[in-house]
C-alpha cells in the first residue's frame, strides 16, 4: 500500500551546452533550456502546466466536466541585479498574474470552489507564493 502522504523526490541534472543553454536530464526525459525558450519562460510554462494538470485533477475530484481550459500568465522581471547593476528590485518576478479560462457547464459557485481548490492544491504555484528554502552548494572539479 502506498502512503499518500509520502513525498516524491525529483532529482534533475543539468549540463552546460553554452553560456545560455543547458541540457536538463530528468531521468525519464531530456530538454534544453535556452534553445527556444529561456529559463524565465520555462518557469512560467511550468506554472501554466501545473495549473492545467491540477485543474484537471480537481475537476475530476469534484465531478466537474471541463471541455476546454486555457491559462495565460504575465509578470515583470527587472534584470538590473542579474546584469550586476545596483538595484533595490528583486532579481526575480516582481509579481505574477494568471487568468484561467475554463469551458464548463458548471455554475459560477462550483467554478469558484474549483478555482479555490486549484489554488490550494497546485504544487508549482505553492512554490511561487511561498518561500521554498534552497540549499545551494558548489563543487569544483
pLDDT, one tens digit per residue, over 85-114 is: 999 999 999 999 999 999 999 999 999 999
Which set of grid coordinates corresponds to residue 78?
A: 527587472
On whether residue 49 sits in a domain, the answer given is: yes
b/e code 3-24 from CB counts within 10 Å (16+ = b)? eeeeeeeeeeeeeeeeeeebee
What mean pLDDT value characterizes the chain? Answer: 94
pLDDT, one tens digit per residue, over 54-94 is: 999 999 999 999 999 999 999 999 999 999 999 999 999 99
On whether residue 82 sits in a domain, the answer given is: yes
pLDDT, one tens digit per residue, over 112-130 is: 999 999 999 999 999 999 9
CA distance 119 to 38: 26
On whether residue 54 sits in a domain, the answer given is: yes
* Rg of the chain (C-alpha set): 18
On whether residue 17 sits in a domain, the answer given is: no
On whether residue 45 sits in a domain, the answer given is: yes
**How many structural domains are present in the chain?**
1
Residue 30 — φ and ψ, nearest 5°? -130, 150
On whether residue 122 sits in a domain, the answer given is: yes
On whether residue 51 sits in a domain, the answer given is: yes
On whether residue 120 sits in a domain, the answer given is: yes
What is the domain extent for residue 79? 38-129
CA distance 20 to 17: 8
pTM: 0.88
CATH number at residue 89: 3.30.300.20
Amino acid at each position: 500500500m502506498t502512503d499518500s502522504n509520502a513525498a516524491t523526490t525529483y532529482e534533475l541534472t543539468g549540463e552546460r551546452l553554452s553560456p545560455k543553454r543547458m541540457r536538463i536530464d530528468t531521468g525519464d526525459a531530456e530538454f534544453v533550456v535556452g534553445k527556444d525558450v529561456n529559463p524565465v519562460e520555462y518557469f512560467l510554462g511550468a506554472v501554466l502546466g501545473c495549473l492545467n494538470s491540477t485543474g484537471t485533477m480537481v475537476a475530476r475530484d469534484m465531478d466537474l466536466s471541463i471541455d476546454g481550459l486555457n491559462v495565460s500568465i504575465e509578470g515583470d522581471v527587472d534584470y538590473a541585479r542579474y546584469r550586476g547593476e545596483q538595484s533595490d528590485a528583486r532579481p526575480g518576478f516582481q509579481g505574477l498574474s494568471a487568468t484561467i479560462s475554463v469551458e464548463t457547464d458548471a455554475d459560477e459557485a462550483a467554478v469558484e470552489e474549483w478555482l479555490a481548490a486549484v489554488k490550494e492544491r497546485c504544487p508549482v504555484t505553492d512554490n511561487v507564493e511561498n518561500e521554498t528554502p534552497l540549499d545551494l552548494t558548489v563543487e569544483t572539479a
